[in-house]
A and B are shown apart, each in its own frame.
Chain A
Amino acid sequence: MNASLNEETLDTFPKLLLSHARLRPDHDAIREKDLGIWQSWTWSQAESEVRALACGLASLGLKRGDKLAIIGDNRPRLYWGMTAAQTLGAIPVPLYQDSVAEEMSYVLDNADVKIALVQNQEQVDKILELKERCPKIEHIIFDEIRGLRDYDHAFLHNFEDVQQKGRELEQNDPDFYQQQVDSTNGEDIAIMLYTSGTTGNPKGVVLTNDNCIITARNGIIREGLTDKEEVLAYLPMAWVGDNLFSYAQSYVAGFCVSCPESASTIANDLREIGPTYYFAPPRVYENMLTQVMIRMEDAAKIKRHVFHFFMKHASKVGVKILNGESVSLKDSLIYKLGNIFVYGPLKDVLGLSRTKLAYTAGEAIGPEIFDFYRSLGINIKQLYGQTECMVFICSQPDGEVYADTVGTPSPDVEIKINDDGEILYRSPGVFHSYYKNPESTASTKTEDGWVYTGDAGYIDDKNGHLKIIDRANDVGKLKDGTMFAPKYIENKLKFFSYIQEAVLYGNGRDYSTAFINIDLDAVGNWAERNNLAYSGYIDLAGLPEVYQLLKECIDKVNVDLSQDSRLGNSQIRRFLILHKELDADDGELTRTRKVRRNFVAERYETLINALYSDAEECHVNTQVTFEDGRTGMLEADIRLCNAECYPLSSSPQEDAA
């Protein structure tokens, strides 16, 4: 076939759409559940919707280089809005639909949005509120008319009316659409995505058609995706992942994307669609697992036994079977039986029974969660990516999936680690620039196209996979020069259910030490099972048996670290269990429950000093804030405990590193 020819000429989304409308006109392109029924649009129907909309937008004055804001839940019409804008050479700018008006105003203004395509009244109201401050917005187009009948602003348009205008324009100028499509090319800017920006204002990442399409195509080739895939578009449209999985890859491969009925019905819609290709952040997988476990605890005894029997078996052989390794005939037969009684029905409940490929990314995923899904036969893999390169930097190849790596570089991606341990990459997906922010562009992207990720990591010698350890800013060094990556170790600790929170210290010190917060439920439950009496949190946290329990957890982490030539010296030498939970009310955590390391360090300076001395006990006096805002003092004697450290398991590469 002339696939290569196709790839060269089909270098923009409008061209891809046209080609699908010709090649697979009756193949479903997009679906939406409306009035309880899945409504589908084929590629040829989608094309005529986009055609009318593109012409309509043109008649409202949207031109090459203008920006079209897109705000709302995942809806076919909003996705069409993206293609329609791209047809005209205009640039779609999807925004997070749940941002408040205040947050939107920055992006709308910064992006020079001319027309906003929004889902409903809620979004229209937000923009009307901002209209004064964002005078550049000329028109608002809405999808759902509900509640908007009485709004009589001349700049407010119903989606269908805009399409009608487009059809009229087409009657007068039948070649207009085709001309527009033909005039698009790969270097045109396809989209602007604002990064959420943990520091300062969000930045608009400008991506070209080439960035999006080549990256999407590489991902498809690597995983062998076809036009038969089913995908549920449920992640925010403003997020780069949705743009890749539900838009770019669908347009390249020609598979169908389904939009859920509403945010609250996703679990149900997932089950009905049964996606073959699925992405979710680790938290979603974690929640699904917790739900299953809770429901199993409430199930009848016999069901529970069957469940646990087969799950135990799955954890023994499931991963091997998925990796294509050979297992004994008996094990394979029991696994097949388990598939009938437990794994199959369970996957169906989770909506993952057809899933060929499930990705996760964004943060560390607990190994037991990861293995749970893999042992069920769900091919879940980790990937590593950024908005700045249209997601893909690394992903795990089949048969080489580990809980603690993010895989090997995706096709056409080069990575390197600089002297500070920061990861850099270069790929066809590397963004054009940050919108109206040349300083940031220059400081992130080098002249020859390398991009700083801001993450520290290294290539694992054993398998050539990239391992992410921490944000580069947080990584420090012990006195002897060993790399010290607090978050990497804290994550390892937090995978134990007994540990709710951990804070590591060691930058510029001789060795690393840890503050531990116990998980009251898990440790309390453990104490009850072991007939230990305690009167409350402080009491429980101070029990010698609890110290012993946590010492075992920490020892395991140390064993783990000793396998690693780079981080082996940062094994935890001493630790203590804090007498109170770290709390956002006391300023120890952010509102999103991230530890404010420096604040905690200042507050508990005496404890840290004690950890770096030989003391076995330390007296502290802490001010605490109660829920009603009153403050009080909390006094406690905290025990300090030594942990076992292990000699590094020598590996030949050690010297080289």
Chain B
Amino acid sequence: MSARQFGDTILEVNNISLSFGVMKVLDNISFDIKKGEIRSIIGPNGAGKSSMLNVINGFYHPQEGTITFKGETRKAMAPHVAASHGIARTFQNIALFKGMSTLDNIMTGRNLKMKTNIFWQALHLGPARKEELENREAAERIIDFLDIQAIRKKPVGKLPYGLQKRVELGRALAAEPELLLLDEPMAGMNSEEKEDMSRFIIDVNDEFGTTIALIEHDMGVVMDLSDRVVVLDYGKQLADGFPEEVRANQKVIDAYLGVPHE
């Protein structure tokens, strides 16, 4: 597979280290994400993948290192800064509003796009009405995109797991992110659902040009989807490169298959 060409770096993490007390969760991690690529972070359980995502998202503040997002270097991100600057995410264990419909859940993802104040919104008048229509249209585009028209008005809590994951992706897309962080989008899915989800991830990247950072431990999926892959193990960075390089890397093979201790 020939590597696709990408533009500028959108996000760069430099020498990130994160500890909880004596537990060193991330140890001196550095990599970059280029605009428009699908970048995967993989590793066995407990490798620090989700922590890495939480650092990018601003939920964890690393003790060392810097994060450069769209040219601005910070010691740490803050979640609201991340969100308002175009980073959206999904969660490993679904975090939707179970009692609300698919459509309403996706509309919550539009919240940051709404400019009118609560007064107009409550009355559903004037500018708020117009804005609601625009946002509803954007939400409908996502529903159409993800092919979930049939569950538009169903409460999310009643949907099967695979569909809930799709709705969660929809909510993240509603924010029209520049960088989309997906935390194990395929965990717990059967192979058909995995295939669907892979298709959607590729389509999102293709259709909207969204940069995607993907955490996954299903190696097969990752290798097919990703442009470049970072491998973590016990908080350390084992490898970084194109899928075929990573696949051939002895350290990565050992980490996944295990090696006898000398």
Give A residues with C-beta under 8 Å from B. 34-37, 146-147, 149-150, 261-262, 264-265, 268
Q: Contacting B141 at CB < 8 Å: which of A35, A147, A150? A: A35
Verify if B259 is at the interface (C-beta below 8 Å from A). no
Verify if B134 is at the interface (C-beta below 8 Å from A). no
Chain B contacts for A37, CB-based, 8 A: 140
Verify if B137 is at the interface (C-beta below 8 Å from A). yes
Q: Contacting B150 at CB < 8 Å: which of A34, A146, A147, A262? A: A262
Verify if B217 is at the interface (C-beta below 8 Å from A). no
Decide: B149 and A262 in contact? CB cutoff 8 A: yes
Residue on A with the closest CB to B142? A35
Residue on A with the closest CB to B152? A36
Decide: B149 and A264 in contact? CB cutoff 8 A: yes
Q: List 28 A-B contacts (CB under 8 A).
A: A34-B144, A35-B137, A35-B140, A35-B141, A35-B143, A35-B144, A36-B136, A36-B143, A36-B149, A37-B140, A146-B145, A146-B203, A146-B207, A147-B202, A147-B203, A147-B206, A147-B207, A149-B206, A149-B207, A150-B206, A262-B147, A262-B149, A262-B150, A264-B149, A264-B150, A265-B149, A265-B150, A268-B150
Decide: A261 and B149 in contact? CB cutoff 8 A: yes
What is the bound-complex CA distance between A37 and B137, given in angstroms? 10
Which are the 8 A-B pairs with shortest beta-carbon distances?
A264-B150, A35-B140, A36-B140, A265-B150, A261-B149, A265-B149, A262-B149, A147-B203
Chain B contacts for A150, CB-based, 8 A: 206
What is the bound-complex CA distance between A264 and B203, given in angstroms? 21
For window 102-142 of B, CB contacts with A under 8 Å fall at 136-137, 140-141
Chain B contacts for A35, CB-based, 8 A: 137, 140-141, 143-144
Residue on A with the closest CB to B143? A36
CB distance from A75 to the nearest CB of B (A): 13
What is the bound-complex CA distance between A147 and B145, given in angstroms? 10
Chain B contacts for A36, CB-based, 8 A: 136, 140, 143, 149, 152
Known: A35-B141, A262-B150, A265-B149. 5 other contacts (CB 8 A): A35-B143, A35-B144, A36-B152, A149-B206, A262-B147
Chain A contacts for B137, CB-based, 8 A: 35
Residue on A with the closest CB to B150? A264
What is the bound-complex CA distance between A262 and B140, given in angstroms? 14
Residue on B with the closest CB to A261? B149
Grouping DSSP codes into helix (H, G, I), strand (E, B) and loop, the A interface class, with mixed when no group exceeds half, is loop
Chain B contacts for A261, CB-based, 8 A: 149
What is the bound-complex CA distance between A34 and B149, given in angstroms? 10
What is the bound-complex CA distance between A365 and B143, given in angstroms? 37
Residue on B with the closest CB to A147? B203
Chain A contacts for B145, CB-based, 8 A: 146
Chain B contacts for A264, CB-based, 8 A: 149-150
Chain A contacts for B152, CB-based, 8 A: 36
A-facing mask of B197-222, CB < 8 A → 1, else 0? 00000110011000000000000000
What is the bound-complex CA distance between A30 and B134, given in angstroms? 25
Chain B contacts for A147, CB-based, 8 A: 202-203, 206-207
What is the bound-complex CA distance between A149 and B204, given in angstroms? 12
For window 151-173 of B, CB contacts with A under 8 Å fall at 152
What is the bound-complex CA distance between A34 and B147, given in angstroms? 12
Residue on B with the closest CB to A145? B207
Chain B contacts for A149, CB-based, 8 A: 206-207
CB distance from B155 to the nearest CB of A (A): 16
CB distance from A505 to the nearest CB of B (A): 43
Chain B contacts for A146, CB-based, 8 A: 145, 203, 207
What is the bound-complex CA distance between A147 and B202, given in angstroms? 9
CB distance from B1 to the nearest CB of A (A): 14
What is the bound-complex CA distance between A264 and B147, given in angstroms? 9
What is the bound-complex CA distance between A36 and B140, given in angstroms? 6
What is the bound-complex CA distance between A291 and B64, given in angstroms? 61
Chain A contacts for B203, CB-based, 8 A: 146-147
Residue on B with the closest CB to A121? B203
Residue on B with the closest CB to A264? B150
Chain A contacts for B141, CB-based, 8 A: 35
What is the bound-complex CA distance between A524 and B150, given in angstroms? 36
What is the bound-complex CA distance between A262 and B152, given in angstroms? 12
What is the bound-complex CA distance between A333 and B203, given in angstroms? 59
What is the bound-complex CA distance between A262 and B150, given in angstroms? 8
Chain A contacts for B206, CB-based, 8 A: 147, 149-150
Chain A contacts for B202, CB-based, 8 A: 147
What is the bound-complex CA distance between A36 and B207, given in angstroms? 20
Residue on B with the closest CB to A146? B207
Residue on B with the closest CB to A33? B149
Residue on A with the closest CB to B202? A147
What is the bound-complex CA distance between A268 and B148, given in angstroms? 13
Chain A contacts for B149, CB-based, 8 A: 36, 261-262, 264-265
Residue on B with the closest CB to A144? B144
Residue on B with the closest CB to A150? B206
Chain A contacts for B144, CB-based, 8 A: 34-35
Residue on A with the closest CB to B144? A35
What is the bound-complex CA distance between A179 and B145, given in angstroms? 41
What is the bound-complex CA distance between A36 and B150, given in angstroms? 10
What is the bound-complex CA distance between A150 and B5, given in angstroms? 13
Chain B contacts for A265, CB-based, 8 A: 149-150
CB distance from B208 to the nearest CB of A (A): 11
CB distance from B124 to the nearest CB of A (A): 18
What is the bound-complex CA distance between A35 and B144, given in angstroms? 6
What is the bound-complex CA distance between A268 and B152, given in angstroms? 11
Chain A contacts for B136, CB-based, 8 A: 36
Chain A contacts for B140, CB-based, 8 A: 35-37
What is the bound-complex CA distance between A2 and B254, given in angstroms? 86
Residue on B with the closest CB to A263? B150
Residue on A with the closest CB to B207? A146
What is the bound-complex CA distance between A265 and B207, given in angstroms? 24
